[in-house]
Amino acid sequence: GLVVLRREGEGRTGRSVGFAMAAREAAETMGRGLRQSVSASGGHVPVKAAKTLQQRLLPDDVHPADAVDVVHALSRLIEDEELRYEALVGDNGGSHRAGYAIGRILSVVQDDVSGVDVVSKFCLDALTSPSASAKTQAAGLRLLCSVVSVTGFQFPLTDERLIDRLTAWALGPMQTHADAAPRTARREAFEAAETAEAAAVDAERENAPTAGLARQAANTANLEALRVKTYAMGCLAVALEAEDVASALVRDGVMGEIMTPLRSFLVDNEPAEGVSVVEAAAKQGTDGGESGGTVTQDARTAAHYDALLNTDDAEDVGTAGAALADFSVKRGAGDAWLLPGRLLAARLRALAATGEYIECFGQALQGGAVDVGMALVTGKYWNPESNANANKGWPPETARRRVLTGNPGNGHQNPNDSEKCVCAPQLPESLAAVCALLAHAKFAVTFVDRGGVAALLRVPRGPLSVDESYRCLFAVSQTPSAMERLLAPGRDTADTGPNVAKRCVDFVLAALDGGHEAARRHAALFLALSFPSPAVVDAFDAAGGLRPLLNLLRHAAQLSSTASPSAKQTACHACHVLRQYCRAHLHRRVNGTGSGSPGYRPVDLSLAATDRNVRLASHDVKTASVMERGNGWLPMDAFIAQGGHEIVLALMSVAAGDRHFHECVPAGLGALRIATLHPAARAATTSVSVVTPGNTSLSAADVLLEIAARAAGAQDAEAAIDALQVICQLVAPPPALAAKDASAVAQKKERTRVSMTPKKPSRRGSAVGGTANAYVSRVEAFGGVEETAFDKLLKPGRASLREAGGLRALLSMLTKGSKKLISPHDDAARALCCNALLAMARDPAIAQTLRTLQVARRLTDLVSGHKHKRGEVGKTVSTNETQAGGGSAAQETDMSTSIEAKSGEFHRAAMELIALTAGGAARGSHALAAANAVAVAPLRRMERHAIAAATRVQFPHEDLLRLIHEHLSNAGLARTADALAVEVAESGMLGAGNLLSLGNRGPGGRRDRKNEKNTSPKTPVTVSKRAGYFARAPGTSVVGLFGGTSTPRPGAFNLGLQTPMPGKTSTQTREKALSAGKRTPCKQTPHTQTPRRSKRKAAALREGHVEERGNVTYDGTAKGLFFAGAESVSPCTAGRARARFSAPGNGLGMASNVDTEPVPCVFIDDDREGCGVRSKLDQVMTTYLRAQHRGCATPAAACAPFSLLEPHACVEPKHPLGAPANVTKRVHRREWFGGGGVGR
């Protein structure tokens, strides 16, 4: 089925180009089929001939020595059909041979008939037999070489005896390594050739009448020895492709045996090995094919052979096949002129098989590997005067077919027009050998410095060279230093710098538009490895490379399941290219183009670097603002304009679950993760729809949710996290800008609240209470949040995710999931799910749905067993805090991108989600405190409850009176608060240490400064509250419990417990009382001002002067709330030796100058919990403090009295192992922080 991409307002350019590519590839496939059908009728004749030859070889009475010509005839059929296949298809791969004559002939040869097959009988048995003659060995080796050259490494090359003999025949006597067994294989053919040559030399020296016959016998023996060596080398080259065979021979020095003859021929221009033998045999003038020594071929024989192959009449196929078999047998071997060239090709193939091994690279360098590689890539054989900078090189004909003559324009394969034997190197084997050597960095750098890449770009492109040329270019890109040297500006501007980058990009873009899958694959690999170089990215953008890349992906998405495995693999590599392209432009966007790095130096585009860049783009305020501008990022605009987002989504929708397409999913998600940082890409991705083969329209949310669920089920952490990251970017704003937007909304709310609050509140507080309640009701009606600019932009994405069942899918992945991801990736995935749900909860309806689904209860069970503890949450530093503190953004990014930080992110997001979905009533610190309470394991909570229940909770009575006075004052009940202050001051139950003076108040409780100085002792009592002492705006709170500082207040737990110390004089006691009177009762908030005492009053206090104001008498200490007046004897002090709160009097032993009536007080017991007063309010406060104690990480059973004005927190225990191991550090820590003990 085809995947149809649909988008509103879509242009025709991208779709037409994609259809053009599909039509071009379909035409190529059709042409291949037509060529196959045309050659099918002619292919039946060689298949019939192969069956005829097989029937002659399989009988038991046929001995290998008697069927040498039949074996040669069968080998010739395989070689000719392989050449015909290359001429028709132009592909040296084995994926299409089964439908051609070559594939059917190989099936016939390998067919097992009655337990016997041709290969086993004439290749394995004949070659391992010590009694086999040289002709028999040569025939068997040729058949084996023709078969394995097409099929690759297989039986019988797995036999160790055969490998041992092939090594001896091909490489001669080599010295084995110490651990290898000694070789016992004999070289029968070479021994026979040496013997015949010696006999011929003796006969010629003696002028014997048989000298001519002896020379002919010697030439024949030498030719057979050359034939054995040539085909043995061909078989060994195929065997070296197996790692176990190559690893053993590499240690024996096989590279030296390969490189020495190659250098002598290609670099030193010496005659190729075997040419003299062939020429000596040609001088014999024999044209009888039966002898196997023919060196010429009659034109009439070749014409008759071609006529038999091209028989079209189906009735005559059987007869033509039999005739072709007989004719081939009569021709004999007929390969003498081809032996030097085939030996050269075998050595090049062996070099390609062993060139990548680091163990033999030293031998390769000693053998002139660089010179040989440059000679091969420049085509020195065809143009001896050519070099890397010349425009001459390989003839164009060599890229289309194998040229076996001296004249490349001649279409014949026989060297009748040449006076000497031609052994031209072939382009496929030459480029394969160079590609193997390019795996070494030293060779690659030297190759680049000597202009090898420039020569490689001039190699003619054709069916035989298109794959290997792109492989060589890909091999160069695998060495970063070589790419840097290639792109760096040099002396020759035509072959280095930006020009060569442009040429390389044009070279690979031609492959992306072509129809060769292997070339496409290696071109994509080159781009993926070269995009870290800015020069390549610039050349790619200048050439419009994004269009062919997206067309390739579009074509793969349209074919979907009908695409071949190779096409799917190419699409995977193209997705990697797209991801690298996005990473490169993200790096430029975040770090800037003018970073000072040259264009030829690669930048870091790894996964860790990309995560840092994405983190900066979303969490750094400055970078996120640049990303959100939406203008100036032209590559992403081009990506959206050409439909890149929908192509990637369509490809991922068909790739999920396909084993050939599996790499497209993480690569496509990586590209979308970067693209959706762009506002236009987010909007376009949200609105796109993909039509599946089942005619079902899927949105982007559907595709991403399905991928996330599949990846989580398969425990693919990378794909699952990337899919969730894309979902979060579609529904949630960047965290940096979201925090900035939230602060702006909060400021707007504060301005609205202040404007709605009346300037002169009523004493009863009715107006203030009504207005505040109206504001709270309006906020709750809007779901507790106010819509921001980002909410308006992201509303379509949230609606799309909700329609796709995103809430259920996210909750499923958050709470249970099919399989748990490997830690700590599970925390990262859960954090993303929580962030997506928090963004969705900006909609009041979705927030209500989450509350209905009891998400808070599920998250409570999940977080309670989480390994991240409450104390570790604060270790994660936010971006805004880091910037406010002047910290380095790079350090914050490195810390946040670490895997360990994901646990803290999940905990924070889970706490916010619990606070949001717990019912909506709790807000602010109370909500987070309630959410943090569930993060403790159940057993630990039980232990804390037990310790808190056994703890005696006590708190000062002073703190409770402070809260009551503050509540009455803020509620507008000023007279009631003054009355409370007067009564507490008159009772003196709290002792000295507070400053709240009494004075006159006018109507409405305001201070009457006009009548204050003329006040007589008979004036009614009024309480004068100094301006600003407890006066605060409505809604503000005292320090400590409701948002103030957590700094402990000195003396908070011993107020009223001071007792006179013996031996103190009256003057010392008075000075101590004076200092106690100046002590500030509590930390002052911005709304609280400390009262000042005039110098006159201070002098009066020092002299013991008594001042009267109203009905209240001052003897140097103020009588106010929480401040004891003059000392008086109370009956309650005699009843108990020690009370928690002293009776009327200051408890300091000061003599009073004023007679004060005894005021009854409440007897307070030190052993009772609370403040000592039996009341419902005392029980409420005791329960509150016990719950606060229960929330401590390590609660203690014995605690000092609690404070209602300060947050309670027990001291954290220290472990002995927490102390530094360094003694010097421990000593310095004790000097700085004081004391010793555990952990110091």
Q: What is the β-pairing status of strands 697-699 and 689-691?
A: antiparallel
Give the mean pLDDT of 160-187: 75
pLDDT of residue 876: 38
Q: Residues 351-397: pLDDT tens digits? A: 999 999 999 999 999 999 999 999 999 988 887 665 544 557 898 88
pLDDT of residue 282: 83
pLDDT of residue 890: 44
pLDDT of residue 390: 52
Helix axes of 517-530 and 498-513: crossing angle, nearest 10 degrees = 150
Give the mean pLDDT of 722-741: 88
Place of tokens 């007589």: 1016
Distance (Å) of CA 31 to CA 24, 27, 85, 400, 487: 10, 6, 14, 17, 40
Give the mean pLDDT of 167-186: 69
Helix axes of 317-331 and 68-89: crossing angle, nearest 10 degrees = 120
Quick check: 832 pLDDT over 80? yes
Give the mean pLDDT of 134-152: 93
For residues 470 and 1084, the model is more confident at 470
Both structure tokens of 182? 């000694």
Greatest alpha-carbon pair distance for the chain in Å reads: 168
The helix (H) or strand (E) run that includes residue 1109 is strand 1107-1109
Q: Residues 849-886: pLDDT tens digits? A: 888 887 877 787 777 766 544 434 333 333 333 333 34
Both structure tokens of 115? 């337990």
- CB-based contact 1035:972 (threshold 8 Å): no
Sequence-distant (≥ 6) Cβ neighbours of residue 1165 within 8 angstroms: 1140, 1172
Sequence-distant (≥ 6) Cβ neighbours of residue 564 within 8 angstroms: 517
For residues 1169 and 182, the model is more confident at 1169
pLDDT of residue 1211: 84
- CB-based contact 518:532 (threshold 8 Å): no
**Long-range CB contacts (< 8 A, 24+ apart) of 523-528?**
523/470, 523/473, 523/474, 524/552, 524/570, 524/573, 524/574, 524/576, 524/577, 525/474, 525/477, 525/573, 526/470, 526/473, 526/474, 526/477, 527/577, 527/580, 527/581, 528/573, 528/576, 528/577, 528/580
Sequence-distant (≥ 6) Cβ neighbours of residue 381 within 8 angstroms: 266, 375, 424, 425
- CB-based contact 107:119 (threshold 8 Å): no
C-alpha closest to that of 914 among 806, 906, 801: 906
Place of tokens 């991705």: 685
Q: What SS3 state is found at 907?
A: helix
The helix (H) or strand (E) run that includes residue 5 is strand 4-6
Distance CA 518, CA 432 (A): 14
Distance CA 769, CA 759 (A): 13
Phi and psi (nearest 5°) for 1123?
-140, 130
pLDDT of residue 1147: 36
Question: Rounded to the nearest 10 degrees, how much is the dihedral formed by the CA atoms of 820, 821, 824, 830?
Answer: -70
What's the pTM? Answer: 0.71
Give the mean pLDDT of 118-147: 91
pLDDT of residue 845: 84
Q: Residues 603-614: pLDDT tens digits? A: 999 999 999 999
pLDDT of residue 93: 55
Is residue 331 very low, low, confident or very high in pLDDT (cuts 50, 70, 90)? confident
Is residue 924 very low, low, confident or very high in pLDDT (cuts 50, 70, 90)? very low
Quick check: 533 pLDDT over 90? yes
Both structure tokens of 290? 């039966």
Distance CA 952, CA 458 (A): 92
Both structure tokens of 393? 């090189």
For residues 1014 and 817, the model is more confident at 817
pLDDT of residue 376: 94
pLDDT of residue 1198: 87
Is residue 1015 very low, low, confident or very high in pLDDT (cuts 50, 70, 90)? very low
pLDDT, averaged across the chain: 74
For residues 691 and 1141, the model is more confident at 691
Distance CA 1164, CA 101 (A): 112
Q: CA quadruple 162, 164, 166, 169: dihedral positive or negative? A: negative
Lateral strand order in the sheet of 4-6: 4-6, 689-691, 697-699
Give the mean pLDDT of 455-463: 91
Distance (Å) of CA 839 to CA 207, 828, 901, 917: 106, 17, 21, 13
Quick check: 341 pLDDT over 90? yes
Distance CA 858, CA 813 (A): 12
- CB-based contact 850:917 (threshold 8 Å): yes
Distance CA 23, CA 557 (A): 15
Quick check: 1169 pLDDT over 90? no
pLDDT of residue 180: 54
Q: CA quadruple 714, 720, 721, 724: dihedral positive or negative? A: negative
Distance CA 722, CA 832 (A): 10
Q: CA quadruple 1200, 1206, 1210, 1216: dihedral positive or negative? A: negative
Sequence-distant (≥ 6) Cβ neighbours of residue 34 within 8 angstroms: none
How many other C-beta atoms lie within 10 A of the C-beta of residue 884?
Answer: 9
Distance CA 128, CA 566 (A): 39
Distance (Å) of CA 868 to CA 689, 813, 855, 903, 924: 40, 19, 20, 6, 22
Quick check: 1151 pLDDT over 90? no
Quick check: 515 pLDDT over 90? no
Quick check: 560 pLDDT over 90? no
pLDDT of residue 836: 93
Quick check: 403 pLDDT over 90? no
